[in-house]
């Protein structure tokens, strides 16, 4: 029987790959989203609305649509794909790097929007108070703005991480199903089910479920404790 063949050795590689992808994606997104969210929160430019709309597009687009365009763009004949091929020697599509780029676009609104909301609700006077006390921009950012916007950061990190962990359509389009390179948990589960290997699928699913639940419980409890210091 097929079931009995695979039960013994559950392949954990997709799990590690998923965690790695989520972590890298969140890290890259934080760096990219910070200036974008800051700009969106404070700009009076007429481009604010179009930029906001573009940022939110991944929320409404079917992942396959996003995946399709990314595949065209990152694929061997796409501009980014060709460029990447010329410097790295392999195309972007169906590689971990390509997956990171796709995940970043896919999870962008989940990181930008909480950050933007956090910046918008910053106590401007506290920032100005820091300036009058001699703090430069960098010090103000790290000692006043980040602590004030910490909930926004936390929500951005968690949502970005969780959303990347759960992505399927985009990964399938852009990454395919290459073990150790692009085979994330959601794809692995799908594959196991296709192979009628329900036990492995169930183990992976349960693992993902428990992990997600624990992360969220941890985050909310931290958020609760931090919140106490903020309420007047």
Q: Does 133 bind another protein (CB under 8 A)?
A: yes
Closest CB to another protein among residues 105, 130: 130
Q: Which lies closer to another protein via its Cβ, residue 42 or residue 168?
A: 42
Q: Tell the smallest beta-carbon distance from residue 131 to another protein (Å).
A: 4
Q: What is the signed CA dihedral for 232, 152, 224, 137, rounded to 10 degrees?
A: -60
Which whole-number Å values give the CA distances from 39 to 69, 112, 117, 146, in the listed order? 26, 11, 12, 16
134 CB-side CA count, 13 A: 0
Of the residues 8, 35, 89, 134, which one makes contact with another protein according to CB under 8 A: 134
Identify residues 18-77 at the interface with another protein (CB under 8 A).
none
| CA trace torsion 84, 88, 94, 95 (10° rounding) | -120
Which of 6, 64, 97, 148 touches another protein by CB under 8 A? Answer: 148
Residue numbers 155-194 binding another protein by CB under 8 A: none
Q: Does 223 bind another protein (CB under 8 A)?
A: no
Q: To the nearest whole angstrom, how small is the minimum distance from the Cβ of residue 76 to another protein? A: 50
227 is a contact residue toward another protein (CB under 8 A): no
Distance of CA 195 to the CA centre of its chain: 29
Taking the complex as a whole, the smallest distance from the CB of residue 231 to another protein amounts, in Å, to 7
User: Nearest to residue 114, comparing CAs of 144, 147, 140, 149?
Assistant: 149
Report CA-CA distances (Å) from 84 to 17, 27, 97, 181.
Answer: 22, 21, 10, 17
- Binding footprint of another protein on the chain (CB under 8 A): 123, 125-126, 128-136, 143-144, 147-148, 150, 229-232
């Amino acid at each position: 029987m097929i079931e009995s063949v695979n039960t013994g050795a559950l392949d954990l590689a997709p799990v590690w790959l998923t965690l790695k992808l989520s972590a890298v994606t969140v890290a890259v997104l934080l760096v990219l989203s910070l200036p974008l969210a800051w700009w969106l929160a404070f700009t009076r430019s007429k481009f604010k609305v179009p930029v906001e709309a573009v940022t939110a597009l991944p929320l409404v687009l079917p992942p396959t649509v996003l995946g399709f365009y990314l595949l065209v763009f990152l694929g061997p004949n796409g501009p980014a794909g060709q460029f990447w091929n010329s410097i790295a020697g392999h195309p972007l599509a169906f590689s971990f790097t390509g997956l990171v780029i796709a995940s970043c676009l896919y999870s962008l609104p989940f990181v930008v929007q909480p950050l933007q909301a956090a910046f918008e609700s910053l106590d401007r006077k506290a920032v100005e108070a820091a300036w009058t006390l001699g703090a430069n921009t960098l010090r103000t950012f790290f000692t006043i703005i980040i602590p004030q916007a910490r909930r926004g950061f936390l929500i951005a990190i968690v949502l970005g991480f969780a959303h990347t962990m759960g992505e399927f359509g985009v990964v399938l389009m852009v990454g395919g199903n290459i073990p150790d390179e692009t085979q994330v948990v959601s794809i692995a589960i799908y594959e196991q089910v296709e192979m009628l290997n329900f036990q492995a699928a169930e183990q992976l699913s349960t693992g993902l479920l428990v992990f997600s639940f624990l992360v969220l419980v941890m985050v909310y409890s931290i958020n609760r404790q931090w919140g106490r210091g903020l309420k007047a």
